[in-house]
Amino acid sequence: MTIELRPLTAADAEAHCAGEDALTVRWLTGGYGDVEGTIKFFEQLTQNATTGTGKRGFGIWNSDRLCGYIDYTPDLDDGLDPEDVALAYAVHPWARGQGIAVQAVHLICNTLRTTKTGTRAAIRVEPQNTASVRVAQKSGFTYIRDFPSNRDTHPDGTPTTFSLYLLDL
């Protein structure tokens, strides 16, 4: 199986929203998206790519079917050093367990190397998110430490604890 990453467009918003489930909401988004809001988010990602600032996101495609999402944020400072680039990803339920996230992480790291963006890729993951921990490990990332977030909180207001995994680019 070969996957590819492509910038997301308004035409992808419905399939993107349809791929969200309770695990996506729990570990990544914090809430279900709607098509209108998703289109605005994709437009912001396109603008960020144009200006070379902020989060850049891509659809993960397998045989011309959208099967997930991956992004990178070069300026996230929550638990990261200045040259670290944060990665985040989600795979649609029907495509999980096939190694798609690991392939997508490899592809996005190649993009970071090619564009000379950052010196290390970083995956910040809640330790209880065992699937994402496995992706970090299978992608060759090294566990560094756990830390309390200075931005993300649980519904009760307590800081989210993340495990930090890094990979030299």
pLDDT in tens, 26-71: 888 878 899 999 999 999 999 999 999 999 999 999 989 999 999 9
DSSP alpha helix (H) spans, 35-114: 35-51, 100-114
pLDDT-wise least confident of 101-115, 120-134, 149-163: 149-163
Range of the structural domain that residue 104 is part of = 3-168
Three-state DSSP state, 30: coil
Query: For residue range 144-169, what is the model confidence (pLDDT) as tens digits?
Result: 999 999 999 888 999 999 999 999 99
Distance CA 105, CA 121 (A): 9
pLDDT-derived band of residue 90, with 50, 70 and 90 as boundaries?
very high
CATH code of the domain in which 42 resides: 3.40.630.30
The owner of tokens 């397998």 is 62
pLDDT-derived band of residue 5, with 50, 70 and 90 as boundaries?
very high
Give the pairing type, strands 120-125 and 84-91.
parallel
Looking at residue 150, its pLDDT comes to 94
Check pLDDT > 80 for residue 1.
no
What are 116's two structure tokens? 């000379």
Q: What is the number of structural domains in the chain?
A: 1
